[in-house]
Amino acid sequence: MEPCFDTNELAYNESISAFMKAGAATGRFVFILTEDYFKSPYCMIELLAIWRNCKWDAGTFQSRVRACVLDARIDTTEDRDRVRMH
Instruction: Show me where the domains of the chain are located.
Output: 15-84
Task: Output phi, psi for 13, to 5 deg.
Answer: 75, 5
Q: Please list the pLDDT of the chain residue by residue as tens digits (86 residues).
A: 676 676 777 777 777 777 777 777 777 888 888 989 888 888 888 888 889 989 999 999 999 999 888 888 888 898 888 877 76
In whole angstroms, what is the distance from residue 24 CA to residue 4 CA? 12
Task: List alpha helices for 14-85, DSSP H.
Answer: 16-24, 35-39, 41-53, 58-64, 77-84
Q: What is the pTM of this model?
A: 0.71
Strand ranges (DSSP E) for 1-86? 29-33, 65-69
